[in-house]
Chains A and B, each alone.
Chain A
């Protein structure tokens, strides 16, 4: 009995990148915000490059609370969709290039805490799926800027999973 040889790294990488790109492209609002996702293996980091249109009140000037909330929310939804997709993608059950992707989860409740003012510079966020069931899932997400240990906002989101 011979083992199947491991897949070439380029194949694995391009499959994962294609799946992530397709998920992100599926949410036009992510493009509106100007956010992108960096990937290391299965770990995603959302990046929100600073842009003047993200400012709330120029007199302060800090990131708009709504921009921060939206950044946390898209990070949570992409992390959840990515985590859900991972196994099907890795086992080849879903081909990121051709087949229809599963529908995105729907937000039921979104709770955001603002811990300090968002500075006019790049922001980063990572989400973790705390609980993922057939119908409901809960995701926690944290955003920071210069210092990983000093988050400026955090959120908890409950999602309704797509049918099927």
Chain B
């Protein structure tokens, strides 16, 4: 495992809400991030079906999206969600983990644009897809005057 990934995983462990949802960083780098969230009965939206609540999937997709922005070569110092639109295509299969893959596909000086897909075990049929914009706070360039 690369040092950067180890570092990013350690960072994920310090994020309280990501931790309470059981999120695990699978991959991260070059504007892409993959995060997995195991099935957990506490996150059910409808007990009649056992399907996870959309809110838990939104939280997973938001986290993966923010991670993709942080891993972009633009070297963000910090980021925050501006907006996120999520289309729910089908319920996630009860008992299966959900994995979100986010791509930060474009950045300007101050804004990052992302796409994100959530899948369960059947990766050919996404559970949800989203697009969003994030703030991009850059590190001051080396030698730049404050």
Binding site for B on A (CB under 8 A): 26-29, 31-33, 52-58, 60, 62-67, 69-71, 73-74, 103-104, 106-114, 117
Q: Pick the contact of B62: A58, A69, A71, A103 (CB < 8 A).
A: A69
Q: Which 6 A-B pairs have the closest CB atoms?
A: A66-B59, A70-B55, A64-B17, A29-B53, A65-B81, A69-B58
Number of interface residues of B (CB under 8 A): 39
Q: Are A27 and B83 in contact (CB under 8 A)?
A: no
Q: Pick the contact of A69: B43, B45, B84 (CB < 8 A).
A: B84
Asked if B95 is an interface residue, CB under 8 A from chain A, the answer is: no
Q: Pick the contact of A66: B14, B17, B48, B87 (CB < 8 A).
A: B17
Q: Are B55 and A29 in contact (CB under 8 A)?
A: yes
Q: Identify the closest chain B residue to A104 (Cβ).
A: B46
Q: Identify the closest chain A residue to B135 (Cβ).
A: A114
Q: Identify the closest chain B residue to A31 (Cβ).
A: B42
Q: Interface of chain A, helix or strand or loop or mixed?
A: mixed
Report the minimum CB–CB distance from B95 to chain A (whole Å): 15
Asked if B2 is an interface residue, CB under 8 A from chain A, the answer is: no
Binding site for A on B (CB under 8 A): 14-21, 41-48, 52-56, 58-63, 66, 78, 80-88, 91
Q: Are B53 and A111 in contact (CB under 8 A)?
A: no
Q: Identify the closest chain A residue to B50 (Cβ).
A: A28
Q: Identify the closest chain A residue to B65 (Cβ).
A: A65
A27-B46, A31-B42 known; A64 vs B58 contact (CB < 8 Å): no
**Residues of B with C-beta under 8 A to A54:** 16-17
**Residues of A with C-beta under 8 A to B52:** 29
Q: Pick the contact of A29: B19, B45, B80, B88 (CB < 8 A).
A: B45
**Residues of B with C-beta under 8 A to A65:** 59, 62, 66, 80-81, 84
A73-B55, A110-B58 known; A67 vs B17 contact (CB < 8 Å): yes
- B45, B48, B87, B91 interface centre (most CB from chain A within 10 Å): B45
A65-B84, A70-B55, A110-B86 known; A28 vs B15 contact (CB < 8 Å): no
A162 to B58, CA, bound (A): 22
A65-B62, A69-B84, A70-B59 known; A55 vs B16 contact (CB < 8 Å): yes
A91 to B41, CA, bound (A): 35
